[in-house]
Structure 1
Amino acid sequence: MSTTTSPTLAELTGTYTVDVAHSTIGFVARHAMVTKVRGAFNEFEGAGYLDGGDVSKSHVKVTIQAASIDTRNEQRDGHLRSNDFLDMEKYPTITFASTSVKQVDAENFQVTGDLTIKDVTKPVTIDFEYQGAATDPFGNHRIGFEGSVAINRKDWNVTWNAALETGGVLVSDKITLEFEISAIKNA
């Protein structure tokens, strides 16, 4: 009888590229104070290095095309692309570049880095949970992570809003960014 074991973190050391076809970078915002609207960015790229022996030497960088925003509503997406929100004509990309990686426990990590939206750069710390590693049917060595962070969009000069007659505002200031990442180890 044979048993299979998951690779150790040290065995996963290497340079990885985000598999965009199997990853999602999304967001959640409150709408009209009564419900949540979810969306995603359909065009992005990312790469990083995982040092399983010393996680603090790991790093990642992601670039998102602002125009690829998709909330399943063409009119809303157009408004989000405008200068009221992302101003994608002037600021076509959103970037995240890590400045530190910390292992909290066997499955949890904190990735701190610089998030740039509309030419405003601020530090954020994203909590990630390690989802596992596998070799796919094509021989690719994959790792998976899921994470999220709540930000205040006003900190990045994304300030448009509309007051509601019943009180409150149309769009929440708090936005939750969500990451479901599958990355392939480079040969």
Structure 2
Amino acid sequence: MTSATTTYPQLTGEYTIDTAHSRIGFVARHAMVTKVRGAFNEFDGTFSVNGDEPAKSSATVTIKAHSIDTRNADRDGHLRSNDFLSMDEYPEIKFVSTGITQTGDASFDVTGDLTIKDVTRTITIPFDFEGSAKDPFGNDRVGFEGSTTISRKDYGITWNAALETGGVLVSDKVTLEFEISAIKNA
């Protein structure tokens, strides 16, 4: 662990995720030989930054399950079905932070409750602070990137198909990817 000495008092405030400039994606193994990447195209989120004491910061993100997009309509339909996300019954995926720890000058572990299909598990997402800027429209903007791996079985998503050569069609492990740009609220 790197000593956490840098603080960011100028960043203190409330932020709204700029969904047009952010991405929430995922990666899963397919047929044991390749990876399928996708994203959720509809989500929103807010976070509160305490630049002097990051542990007092917090974040909430809500994802619309129907917005899953892997660039393949048949696969997306299957992912929305009861075999995977059961989006008719569980239309939202939600993350609510429960703790934030600064792990380096520009790195943070964000721990929180991830709810998928009405199952809530605690996860930790390592994030890197990518910087801050005033954009051409006068907005104070910050960027963070992070990823973590979850087990889909932990959320009751167990559908699979055995392969003739051994293994399964879809990996249990799914990497969640976050590329976040947010604007400070006025």
Aligned to 1:115: 114
Aligned to 1:33: 32
Query: Share of identical aligned residues, percent?
Result: 68
Alignment of 1:33-182 (within 5 A): 33-182=32-181
Any unmatched runs of 5+ in structure 2?
Answer: 1-6
Output the CA distance in 2 between the equivalents of 1:106 and 1:112.
18
| TM-score normalised by structure 2 residue count | 0.96
Q: Secondary structure at the match of 2:104?
A: coil
Q: How far has the Cα of 1:13 moved from its partner?
A: 0.3
Which residue identity does 1:38 align to in structure 2?
Answer: R
Output the CA distance in 2 between the equivalents of 1:160 and 1:104.
36
Which residue identity does 1:111 align to in structure 2?
Answer: V
Q: How far has the Cα of 1:105 moved from its partner?
A: 1.0
Q: How many residue pairs are counted as aligned between the two chains?
A: 181
Q: How far has the Cα of 1:139 moved from its partner?
A: 0.3
Output the CA distance in 1 between the equivalents of 2:104 and 2:163.
44
Output the CA distance in 2 between the equivalents of 1:158 and 1:126.
21
Output the CA distance in 1 between the equivalents of 2:128 and 2:85.
29
Q: How far has the Cα of 1:142 moved from its partner?
A: 0.4
Instruction: Give the aligned CA root-mean-square deviation in angstroms.
Output: 1.0
Any unmatched runs of 5+ in structure 1?
Answer: 1-7
Q: Deviations over 1:94-121 (max 9, x none)?
A: 0000000010111100000000000000
Output the CA distance in 1 between the equivalents of 2:133 and 2:10.
12
| TM-score normalised by structure 1 residue count | 0.96
Output the CA distance in 1 between the equivalents of 2:69 and 2:92.
15
Which residue identity does 2:57 align to in structure 1?
Answer: S
Residue 183 (structure 2) pairs with residue 184 (structure 1): yes
Output the CA distance in 1 between the equivalents of 2:182 and 2:157.
30
Q: Deviations over 1:3-44 (max 9, x none)?
A: xxxxx6111100000000000000000000000000000000
Which residue identity does 1:143 align to in structure 2?
Answer: V
